[in-house]
Every structure is written in C-alpha cells, then in structure tokens.
Structure 1
Amino acid sequence: MRLEPLYQRDREQAKEEGRQERKENLILRLLNRRIDEIDASLIGRIKGLSIEQLENLGEALLDFSSVADLETWLNQQSI
C-alpha cells in the first residue's frame, strides 16, 4: 500500500481547514469592527458556516448596522 495518496489527502484537508479558520477569523474581526462585540453563541454559529457561507457573510456584513442584522442573516442560512 502506498502512503503517498493518503499523505496528500491529509495535507489537502489540513490546508482546507486552515483556509476555513483564516476566513472565520477575518469575518469575526470585520464584524467586531462593524457592529462591535459579538456574543459567544453568534460566534459559534459563524464557526459552523461553510466556506461559501463565510464568503457570502463577508459581503453581507458591509450592509450590517447592528447585531440584529447579523442574527437575521444567520437565521436565513440553513445551519
């Protein structure tokens, strides 16, 4: 059995997880600047988003003016 394909798969998975975490952190920083501190329950919901949803949130947050806007957006997602 060759280990190279398994190693490659694990490496790609680690890269993807790293990208996800960086996007989550960026979105959270942007949200904190835009609408102030976010409570832990909302942070948990954000961390549960897919990469595509995080990208959509990154665009949507430009229109947010309050935490209520974030909550409304999150409620519209299928989480």
Structure 2
Amino acid sequence: MEESPIYQEILEKGAKKGKLQILTRQLSRRFGTISSQLQQQLQALSINQLDDLSDALFDFSEISDLAVWLQNQQ
C-alpha cells in the first residue's frame, strides 16, 4: 500500500500543506501580513521549491525580497 501512487500523492499533499503552513507563519511573523497575491504564489510552489524557500528566507530583509524570489521561480 505504501508504494501505491495514490498513497504517495496523499503523503506529498500532506507534506506540502505542512511546509506551506510553517513558511507562511514564519513569513508573517517576520514581515507582517502576507498579501493574497503572494499567498497564491506560495501555494503554487512545489515541495522542493518550498524547501529552497525555507533556506532563502534567512537572506530576506523585507517582503519585496520574497516577491523577487518568487518571480525567479517561474
């Protein structure tokens, strides 16, 4: 069962949701309210991109750094 594609997809969705929640909370704590546009862009990221963002976050000094980072991911 653990090897089934459906099971793997469910696990991936859960992992993505968890990573997204943590990153959103960290970004909100650091920069305040995150615009709905940026939130939508965050939701569109893959798990690997969310992992990359968790590292890049330490280099951001303002919310515009996030916007630039997101633009570069497209």
After TM superposition, is the score higher than 0.5? yes
Task: Report the AA paired with residue 27 of structure 1.
Answer: L
Which of 58, 69, 72 is residue 73 of structure 1 equivalent to? 69
Any stretches of 5+ residues in structure 1 without a counterpart?
none
Report runs of 4+ in structure 1 exceeding 2 Å deviation: none
Contact 1:35 1:64 in 2 (8 A): no
TM-score (norm 2): 0.89
Shift of 1:67: 1.1
Any stretches of 5+ residues in structure 2 without a counterpart?
none
CA distance in 1, matches of 2:53, 2:38: 13
Identity of aligned residues (%): 35
Task: Report the AA paired with residue 53 of structure 2.
Answer: L
TM-score (norm 1): 0.83
CA distance in 2, matches of 1:70, 1:29: 14
Query: What RMSD, in angstroms, separates the aligned Cα atoms of the two structures?
Result: 1.5
